[in-house]
Amino acid sequence: MADHPAVAAPLAAPLAARSGTGAAVLVGAAVASAYGRGTEALLAGMLSGQPAFSAVTRFDVTARRTSVAATMAGSPTLLTEVTRAVRDACDDACLSPPDRARSPLFLAIHGHPAIARVPAADRHLFSTDAFAAAVAERGGLANSGIRCYTSACVAASTAIADAAAMISRGRVDRVIVAGGYLVESDQFALFDAGRTLAADGRVRPFSAGRRGLLLGDGVGAVVIESAERAKARRAPVLARLAGWGRTGDAYHPCQPRPDGHGLARAIGAALQRAGIAAGDLGYVNAHGSGTKQSDLAEASALRLALGDAAATIPVSSTKSLHGQALEASGVLELIVTLLAVGKGMLPVNAGFLGSDDECRLNLVLGESLAATPEYAMSLNAAFGGANTALVIGRS
Amino acid sequence: MTHLAPATVIDLPALHTAAAAAGLTVLASACWPETDTDAEVKPLAGFIESTFSPLLAQTADRVLSRRPEPAAPDRVTAIVIATAFGDVTSATHVARAVDLGQRVGPLLFFQSVPNAVAGYLAARWRLTGPIACVGGLGAGLDIAAALIEDADADEALVVWVDLGVTEDDRDRAAAIVVTSTR
């Protein structure tokens, strides 16, 4: 594959081209994870510093190399959980039924969860858009403008960036972005086959001795609205969605570009849109999958994009706690970032065994860190070399 | 929002019309099948069992090679994939193996998301823009237009692909390279 191809400079486009005139704000959030349903359960889990991984009982894992994931109790279904998150996020945003009925849904999922096991003659009924439409209908949202993103681990973060861009340019005044992944047998088998699951049952982002990722349930929804509209209806603002960036590595089908240049461009674009310098960031919620190549590339990207500030900005990957939620990662981790900033406590980068010289960062280690950042950033990267960066600012 | 007929009946004139409605200028277009010689999709190294990624790559290669002139080196091109059902052949293969208690081949892991073939195309053609995969072609065109308007891309490769999901269907794909008219 390509050998470090030349790419455009991080700040190639002028700010005026990269932003609309409006501001986008987060006015509602809801979540479910292995720590339970609700933002309070997630925050408590994050601040406990105790990873949520346990033996998988949802399906048979006896033939797999790893038998651990972060799963919710019971037998949750994706449609029910995503619909619940959408409704709860709309409640959190104090949206009336007519407001909801005017709001489009951008949903991030792997695909229709039933399509692989229905009779061939019925498959045409199981498109990803059909699933999204079912969520929108059950959640009381608009029946048009629905999008279903399936871009792997940047699906939800791309949807959030796209929603923010549309709101910034006045195309819409509100979007509900949701994402969902519940650990199931097929993806577990695939990740096992790809030898990416951590055989030692822990996720150790940026650490020496890291051995891979572990899957985790993640369902989340956020309400993104124009600041003007939120102010007009006196909605409580959780945070500003201050900046976003999305780029590609142009490097390999499934490996990240080792020098992190693609992700660095996404970070640069997000900082540029937010109108801040690297040193203004007070926290980075890293993609931090816990795999050798991905963590190395991300650490390189952070040093490249943030310069000297990379040595001091607190960084943690909360995948070490809640696991890898695939297509839902972007919304789950944005909510983690939102909660951390709101609480003034930055979650720990769990599982750390020792320094990896190639992943030098100011990791939050040992226990949660008290801090009140004005700005925080959430990063995601995916197969294909897709990268996203989202920056939130205190309201 | 861009409105389109169901993806299974999309043809190139309809695609050009929809792109124009989304504020996009079409620089090149292609589809599969185009002629009687498009009987079988060529295999793509590293991708197995399913025609999804090979078909997507072949159609994208076709449209990118038809550009009237090569893109400037610093031009940023986004990749937007629209697929209603995704790689249903690979998905059903994996589900069958899992249900029978069999192991799954490692190559199936690497092709388990449409991003993988997007990454193949990005590396081959030096496409450094964002990668997005969505369920509908109308949404895909809207995303392409928005990425260009938002200056995260100068142009976009939009590929629609769907495998025949019933015995009467056949695999189909269409692709365009677009820039903004705005």
- Does B134 sit within 8 Å of A383, measured CB to CB? no
- Does A249 sit within 8 Å of B113, measured CB to CB? no
Cis peptide before B33 (omega within 30 of 0): yes
What's residue B166's pLDDT? Answer: 63
Question: Residues 103 to 132 of B: which have CB under 8 A from any A CB?
Answer: 103-106, 108-110, 112-120, 122-132
- Does A190 sit within 8 Å of B113, measured CB to CB? no
Question: Residues 275 to 334 of A: which have CB under 8 A from any B CB?
Answer: none
Which tens digits make up the pLDDT trace of A199-209? 999 999 999 99
Q: Which residues of A touch B132 (CB under 8 A)?
A: 149, 151, 158, 162, 246
Min Cα distance B159 → chain A (Å) is 14
d(C-alpha A249, C-alpha A294), whole Å: 12
**CATH (one of 3.20.20.70, 3.40.47.10, 3.30.420.250, 3.10.129.10) for A23-394:** 3.40.47.10
Question: Residues 68 to 107 of B: which have CB under 8 A from any A CB?
Answer: 73-74, 76, 78-79, 83-86, 88, 91-92, 94-95, 97-99, 101, 103-106
Query: Is residue B5 pLDDT above 60, yes or no?
Result: no
What's residue B35's pLDDT? Answer: 87
Taking residues B84-102, report their average pLDDT.
96
Query: Is residue B4 pLDDT above 80, yes or no?
Result: no
Nearest CA in chain B to A273: B150
What's residue B26's pLDDT? Answer: 97
Half-sphere exposure of A118 (CA within 13 A, CB side): 15
* Pairing verdict, β A314-316 and A362-363: parallel
Instruction: Grade residue A19 by pLDDT with cuts at 50, 70 and 90.
Output: confident
Q: Compute the count of residue pairs across chains A and B with CB atoms less than 8 Å apart.
A: 217
What's residue A12's pLDDT? Answer: 60
Q: Which residues of A touch B116 (CB under 8 A)?
A: 253-254, 383-384
Radius of gyration of chain B (CA): 16
Helical (H) or strand (E) element with B26: strand B24-32
Q: Which residues of B touch A14 (CB under 8 A)?
A: 151
Min Cα distance A161 → chain B (Å) is 10
CA-based end-to-end distance of chain A: 44
Min Cα distance B38 → chain A (Å) is 24
The answer to whether A186 faces chain B, any CB pair under 8 Å, is yes
Taking residues A301-319, report their average pLDDT.
98
Of A165, A192, A253, the CB nearest to B119: A253
d(C-alpha A320, C-alpha A53), whole Å: 9
The interaxial angle of helices A185-193 and B88-99, nearest 10 deg, is: 90
Spell out the domains of chain B, with CATH numbers in brackets: 7-180 (3.40.47.10)
Which tens digits make up the pLDDT trace of A31-75? 999 999 999 999 999 999 999 999 999 999 999 999 999 999 999
What's residue B74's pLDDT? Answer: 86
Query: Is residue A175 pLDDT above 50, yes or no?
Result: yes
Query: Is residue A18 pLDDT above 90, yes or no?
Result: no
The answer for residues whose C-beta is within 8 angstroms of residue B99's C-beta and 6 or more apart is A117
Mutate to test the interface with A, among B103, B109, B148 (most CBs of A within 10 A): B109
Min Cα distance B58 → chain A (Å) is 15
Of A121, A150, A252, the CB nearest to B166: A121
Provide the residue type at B83 as one letter: T
d(C-alpha A378, C-alpha A157), whole Å: 9
B38, B69, B77, B131, B154 from B29: Cα distances, Å? 16, 14, 15, 19, 17
Instruction: Grade residue B7 by pLDDT with cuts at 50, 70 and 90.
Output: very low
Q: Which residues of A touch B118 (CB under 8 A)?
A: 248, 384, 386
The mean pLDDT of chain A is: 95
Q: Which residues of A touch B79 (CB under 8 A)?
A: 248, 384
Query: Is residue B162 pLDDT above 90, yes or no?
Result: no
Instruction: Grade residue B10 by pLDDT with cuts at 50, 70 and 90.
Output: low
Helical (H) or strand (E) element with B28: strand B24-32
Task: Give, in degrees to the nearest 5, the angle at Cα B149 between B146 and B151.
Answer: 110
Min Cα distance A40 → chain B (Å) is 32
Q: Which residues of A touch B124 (CB under 8 A)?
A: 2
What's residue B1's pLDDT? Answer: 56
Nearest CA in chain B to A122: B166
d(C-alpha B182, C-alpha B179), whole Å: 9
Q: Which residues of B touch A251 (CB under 8 A)?
A: 119, 122-123
Lowest-confidence region among A62-76, A353-367, B8-22, B58-72: B8-22
Which tens digits make up the pLDDT trace of A259-298? 999 999 999 999 999 999 999 999 999 999 999 999 999 9
> Which is more confident, B104 or A6?
B104
A64, A200, A258, A325, A344 from A213: Cα distances, Å? 14, 10, 18, 10, 27
Q: Which residues of A touch B109 (CB under 8 A)?
A: 190-191, 193-194, 196
CB A353 within 8 A of CB A207: yes
Coil, strand or helix: which one is B105? coil
Query: Is residue B176 pLDDT above 50, yes or no?
Result: yes
d(C-alpha A210, C-alpha B48), whole Å: 30
Q: What is the 3-state secondary structure (H, E, C) of chain A?
A: CCCCCCCCCCCCCCHHHHCCCCCEEEEEEEEEECCEECHHHHHHHHHHCCCCCEECCCCCCCCCCCCEEECCCCCCCHHHHHHHHHHHHHHHCCCCHHHHHCCCEEEECCCCCCHHHCCHHHHHHCCHHHHHHHHHHHHCCCCCCCEEECCHHHHHHHHHHHHHHHHHCCCCCEEEEEEEECCCHHHHHHHHHCCCECCCCCCCCCECCCCCECEECEEEEEEEEEHHHHHHCCCCCCEEEEEEEEEECCCCCCCCCCCCHHHHHHHHHHHHHHCCCHHHEEEEECCCCCCHHHHHHHHHHHHHHHHHHHHCCEEECCHHHHCECHHHHHHHHHHHHHHHHHHCEECCCCCCCCECHHHCCEECCCCCEECCCCEEEEEEEEHHHEEEEEEEEEC
Residue in A33, A256, A274 with CA at minimum distance from that of residue A164:
A274
d(C-alpha A329, C-alpha B64), whole Å: 32
The answer to whether B149 faces chain A, any CB pair under 8 Å, is yes
